[in-house]
Amino acid sequence: MMVSFFDQFASPSYLGIPLIAIAIALPWVLYPTSSSRWINNRLITIQGWFINRFTNQLMLPLNVGGHKWALLLASLMIFLITINMLGLLPYTFTPTTQLSLNMGFAVPLWLATVIIGMRNQPTVALGHLLPEGTPIPLIPVLIIIETISLFIRPLALGVRLTANLTAGHLLIQLIATAVFVLLPMMPTVAILTAAVLFLLTLLEVAVAMIQAYVFVLLLSLYLQENV
């Protein structure tokens, strides 16, 4: 029984060909394309308003040098939200429940922020490894601790996104299974459980959006330290 619960996180394949590439590329097909007309439809207007508001909020604490990342971070945010939301539909696969995919996003972007900091302001970047006013005997220990915390950042980004989405999907499947089992025996309890399942689904919709936002927000904070 437990194996079947985790089967939903296995990468689907057809004739031995992994279909995760289609799951990753599909969201881009669903986005409405922009138009050269002055007046667009409501969907494109809402999409443009959301992207502008998010980009302004994200770039607010960054200086002009960090604004070059606006397109990349905004695109990543929309991409993660779309994948997470599509994964809540029945009989779908969520690529962001794969730690390898999330680490593939987290490690290169985190490494890019570190390289930018070491190239543009190496003194300030290295200064983060040693807080000001540290007693001399604690300097070697603190440098080791801060270095470890620096390299743990991309792992924390990937694991946070994977763990939250995986836990949510498992809870939904467990409660949905309980509803089907209880329905013939205790209909009243099954209806109450179905109400809990509906509320949990709404919570997972919020988690899908919040986790995508947190992923991009933490990347912007790492960028803020290095630009």
Tokens standing for 170? 């498992």
Q: Per-residue pLDDT for 211 more than 60?
A: yes
Segment of 13-17, 35-39, 126-130, 195-199 carrying the highest mean pLDDT: 195-199
Q: Per-residue pLDDT for 1 more than 70?
A: no
Residue 207 pLDDT level (bands cut at 50, 70, 90): very high
Segment of 97-101, 124-128, 138-142, 157-161 carrying the highest mean pLDDT: 157-161
Q: State pLDDT tens for residues 2-23.
A: 446 666 667 777 777 777 777 7
Predicted local confidence at residue 157, as pLDDT = 92
Q: By C-alpha distance, which of 95, 91, 99 is closest to 176?
A: 91
Decide which of 192 and 226 is more confident: 192
User: What is the pTM assigned to this prediction?
Assistant: 0.84
Sign of CA dihedral 213, 216, 218, 224: negative
Q: What average pLDDT does the chain have?
A: 84
Residue 34 pLDDT level (bands cut at 50, 70, 90): low
Decide which of 171 and 29 is more confident: 171
CA atoms within 13 A on the CB side of 197: 18
Average pLDDT value for residue range 140-146:
86
CA distance 11 to 124: 42
